[in-house]
Structure 1
């Protein structure tokens, strides 16, 4: 396991810490390569020290020796006046006194309180604490007589940083907590806890060893051990010293990582103004819950997302509403400008919410030429949905992103470009606009932005991260969604997609055959390891089904009967486990949504339409009777249009209206809808449609192919998804 640096190391005043950290990495290099050790510079576990919170300087987890916390003190021997037990007195140092050993000891106990929640780790892990003095030699310490004092803690001196000596010093230090052997299973659980993954969720006493029903499978999954994803660890816990772009496939955990990163930033820098921005209003509750979870996790429950935290860490919808500020409306209020509403721009006849948000941001930039910087960091989720068409750009730049950049303070007083702007996206989930948020597309041809997200920051943090593993959606559903969304097996050739091996690999596929020359045969395969969802292994029935019907009512009656079976036979919760996604756009999609609702009601199944105040309500008289942030209602099955379903998920997803896509099969936006609908699933998905269309054969061929697709590359796709920023990083 690698060693993680959670923030740039090597700033003024950190040379001593860096000296110790580099020595630790060298000392544990072999164990690291064997997967028996991991370490963190400033692991994000914040315990209170005086009026401030401080994380451990260095944390080491060693499968052979347990957990080690090292507190680094970078002073010279002349700075140390006295050692009175745990109290150390200093002169000409940034503090007059301190309790370095006791502070590190408190951090160790705080970490072990997380371990104690897991039965396999409880009182089974050893732990020790050491103080590192990189600018003091052992001879200097002895000369001052500090070695003869009682209660002197284990110390790593500046002349004991060689690989062998350092390891020996750490291993010979006395344990504060004595545990048992760390077996492979315990090691797996320990790494999961360190990564912050919920190892056990829900009531595991009801889990079955041999699950047969869907509910039993869902419960059994909660007992599976979480896995430390090395890439996720690096992204989620790293505070970059500048911009960072995160490209991740659906279900890769982008949103959770941004919440983790925002919480970590706030605890590390409580004086910073931070914005966590997202596109789908129905995600308010989920995003807030995730941020609250990480704040509590990193502080052992001492800090939550309360009114005080909200003043510095703002969770904002991109636009905002009448009763809740958004990123755009906050920017307007900051500059004394009245925010534009949906009604204000209705006459502009703008297609798509992304274009609408971009338009109003462009209007603000025109009205206020000098935007006052306010935020220290801005994190943007669902970045693909905040892009505009060419006609709505602001001076060749994407207006939402340019406004965000202008609102950011400089990280470096001499650099007005590389601000802490972090955005995550998946271009396959774009519904209105097919523009991919590359740095060139965001900020135009300005040479200053040419390397905005290429290469690494000082200290090694990557400017661009690409997440290729999908944890949410089972492999057969994800690969089908990709293949149908891109049209890989389409008789007339693919509509959108990637045309080089490196970019296919970056989203989790291997190119087995071909190099994307016209007329070539291409074979793609997605390895099982990149889709670790276990439902396909546990389920006795296929996780993906496609059903065709003669009429719409026949389709919807079958849907209602299947859901009735899920509730009565499988024992599933309507609002927790089941989601219906309706394909299509505009009034036709809304009409189909209501038709689905009427059919469920006729079968005595409660339904909920997102934004309604309550279940079993088909429409609202006006917006005052709606709740745009609401997506579910207790005891009711949610019936959602694709645009509202984005960012949400369920164990069983029914995607209705495949014929709408099939009737206009070359429409990339409609194929993207189908992709988004299917990838909401955490377990099973059923796609259905009426009539008979050639595209139905394509869908069937995709399902038969499962994880391996062979097709002729006829011509370059209409929409190219190759990543020029990634190419620059190569």
Structure 2
């Protein structure tokens, strides 16, 4: 079964489109992607099919009966409707125009074109187009001489797409689609990297990252070419969620590294572009995460082929003015002029219809497990009742605050049938997520409140290979942090890890436990630049993930962020001894810290706590193996 975007058609799709959609999904190969009415730089072809051994094909669908076809020529079709005679562009010409424009768009990427031979500077894979006449058979085309304006090679009829037809054959369907090329040529099958690159260019909303490499102008090429490296895009499930989450209230539960924040940012962009007049609010609990999401949305709103993939905060596009991104308490202060303890009073006034409060057409909440039921109730009250567009993304395993809640009882919304689950961790290597989840199961899962409305979802690893996490037990805090600085220097110079892709995470810092001061001292000695995110409110709000400096922050402030390498230091300071802090919450916090690392994870400690025996056992196991 082929993958499709969307997973199901909207209610306004025609009967013919529904039939073709189901046939393409069920009878094309598993590695094909079927797009229905994709938005490609303002173009809206009915279907676009991409396959490794196919290339790219555009299909225009028409549900015309033979009686509706009044007069046809290669450019225009005169169609008889209930309202009279209408003139429409030939669907074959429409499909051809779409295919040519898509090809021109993709020919700007050096990795997708041929650099020599007869088709120099043309796409290295075939692209084609065709028409699907869902209510006409091949016999109808022959009887009415329609083949004069519809090349049989470029046309699918009812016989070709109806499984109930005696002449239907999946193999014949695939063969006909593979032959919809005006100038076919042999090509090497598209690699997964090629398909990621095609999706990167056609659908900016699925972009995660890519490195733009400088390209010298090629003589004879009509374009200023681009070349991308390390292309990362959403998978099809993530793309579907971002594009077709659905209306009204929705809930996404996802494991660490499943792309929840990316989906939320993409959804905000799609809503802003689809509804320019909407007032959209994006909230989270973490100050640094709010800053990061703001940068991510700005970046997505200005994405165009050839632009740098780096995030920028200069001159945000006009659309961004309709999106407010805040951490919850800053939003309370700036938009409502209140503090958290005044929320009950505001709720009472809203119930009575008193006062003037802002209204939002859409509210998107990241790290929803950090939000109390009272906070959510307030946000629901401020939602436009006509849109009720509420999106909450969360992970029960990352619960580090006492937030008991039940959606139906507390805010009057049920998410039954309106929720999706993301189980696959794409961020971390298999060894990192294996150790992090094993630790969480050992120390955090048993104490989870099963009566809460917050489900803990076991992660499924993407099985991305990588180095095992490094555990270091030091004799003192000073020795531990000197080792950390040394490892950072080695990562940067030997593994070519940029400073901005390295983070040092800690539980707490004070005079009696000066972990940051000592770390800064050793980083300075080695000439390593750093930025202390958690130093103050200002440093959190001015945080720029792309600044070329090692990031130092509390584990709390790292929520929602990720880095190529992460050092979780001072593990012996956990669990934090306070009557309001549960050991299970501390286990969640350490799990969060470990899952910030995409490729390299370092865990260090110099004392003892109820958590350190777990890492002692891992060290002993490695010593036995050695």
Q: TM-score range by the shorter chain?
A: 0.7 to 0.9
Structure 1 residues 134 and 372: alpha-carbon distance in aligned structure 2, compared to 1, 3 A threshold: farther
Name which of 678, 697, 708 aligns with 2:613.
Answer: 697
| Counterparts of 1:152 and 1:177, CA distance in 2 | 15
2: CA distance, partners of 1:649 / 1:556: 21
Structure 1, residues 595-645: CA drift from partner, whole Å, max 9, x if none? 43344335544332227xxxxxx66xxx6x656141457443221122222
**Cα distance in 2 between the residues matched to 1:486 and 1:588:** 33
- Indicate whether 1:580 and 2:504 are aligned: yes
Deviation string for 1:458-507 (max 9, x for gaps)?
A: xxxxx33222222222233323223333434x9xx9444999xxx88x52
Partner in structure 2 of residue 560 of structure 1? 485
Residue 325 of structure 2 corresponds to residue 316 of structure 1: yes
Q: Which residue of 1 aligns with 2:427?
A: 472
**Paired residue secondary structure (2:424):** coil
Alpha-carbon distance between aligned partners in 2 of 1:597 and 1:90, rounded to the nearest angstrom? 75
Scaled by the length of structure 2, the TM-score of the pair is 0.76
Residue 201 of structure 1: aligned partner: 211
Q: How does 1:521-536 map to 2 (within 5 A)?
A: 530-536=461-467
How much does 1:297 deviate? 6.4
Which of residues 643, 651, 675 is equivalent to 2:591?
675
Matched, 1:37 2:32: yes
What is the DSSP-based 3-state SS (H/G/I as helix, E as strand, rest coil) of the residue aligned with 1:56? coil
Task: From 366, 374, 393, give the equivalent of 1:424.
Answer: 393
Deviations 1:344-388 (A, max 9, x none): x3xxxxxxxxxx4xx5655433222359996554332211122x2
SS at match of 2:251: strand
2:551 match: secondary structure: strand
* Displacement of 1:259: 2.4
> Counterparts of 1:115 and 1:361 in 2: how far apart (Å)?
55
Are residues 571 and 187 of structure 1, via their aligned partners in 2, closer, same or farther at CA, if it must alter by over 3 Å? closer
1:364 paired residue number: 346
TM-score by length of 1: 0.66
Change (3 A) 1:535 1:365: same
Number of aligned residue pairs: 573
CA distance in 1, matches of 2:527, 2:274: 52
Alpha-carbon shift at residue 66 of structure 1 (Å): 2.8
Q: 3-state SS of the aligned residue for 1:444?
A: helix
* 1:96-245 equivalent positions in 2, closer than 5 A: 97-98=88-89, 100-112=91-103, 113-114=105-106, 117=109, 119=111, 123-136=123-136, 146-149=146-149, 154-158=154-158, 160-163=160-163, 164=168, 167=173, 170-171=176-177, 173-176=179-182, 178-183=184-189, 186=191, 189-190=194-195, 193-194=198-199, 196=206, 201=211, 229-245=235-251
**C-alpha distance in 1 between matches for 2:156 and 2:601:** 57
Deviations 1:257-315 (A, max 9, x none): 222333344555656554444333324554345445655669998xx995332255x15
Partner-residue secondary structure (3-state), 1:245: strand
Q: Which runs of 5+ in 1 are unaligned?
A: 48-52, 206-221, 333-337, 346-355, 412-418, 456-462, 510-529, 537-541, 612-617, 707-730
Indicate yes or no: 2:57 matched with 1:21.
no
Instruction: Check conservation: 1:377, 1:420, Cα contact below 8 A.
Output: yes
**Cα deviation, residue 240, structure 1:** 1.9
Q: Tell me if the contact between 1:428 and 1:672 (Cα under 8 Å) persists in the aligned partners.
A: yes
Choose the corresponding residue for 2:567, options 654, 671, 677: 654
Matched with 1:548 is 474
Distance 1:133 1:593 in 2: 69
- Asked if structure 2 preserves the Cα contact closer than 8 Å seen for 1:655 and 1:688, the reply is yes
Deviations 1:229-274 (A, max 9, x none): 4533443343424443222121121111222333344555656554
What residue number does 1:687 align with?
603
Q: 1:136 to 1:242 in 2, by over 3 A?
A: farther
Aligned 1:252-651 pairs, distance under 5 A:
252-267=258-273, 274-284=280-290, 286-291=292-297, 294=300, 307-312=317-322, 314-319=323-328, 321=330, 326=331, 332=335, 338-340=336-338, 345=339, 356=340, 362-369=344-351, 370=353, 375=360, 377-386=362-371, 388=372, 393=373, 398-400=374-376, 403-404=379-380, 407-410=383-386, 419-435=388-404, 441-444=406-409, 449=413, 452-455=414-417, 463-488=418-443, 494-496=446-448, 507-508=458-459, 530-536=461-467, 542-550=468-476, 552-567=477-492, 570-574=495-499, 576-584=500-508, 592-601=515-524, 604-610=527-533, 628-632=541-545, 634-651=547-564
Two-structure CA RMSD over aligned residues (Å): 4.3
Provide closer, same or farther for how the CA distance between residues 159 and 633 of structure 1 changes in structure 2, counting only shifts above 3 A: closer
Where do 5+ consecutive residues of structure 2 fail to align? Answer: 115-122, 201-205, 216-227
Evaluate the alpha carbon distance shift between residue 82 and residue 339 of structure 1 in structure 2; reply closer, same or farther with a 3 A threshold.
farther
Contact 1:126 1:176 in 2 (8 A): no
Inter-partner Cα distance in structure 2 for 1:465 and 1:703: 38
Preserved contact between residue 608 and residue 636 of structure 1 (Cα < 8 Å):
yes
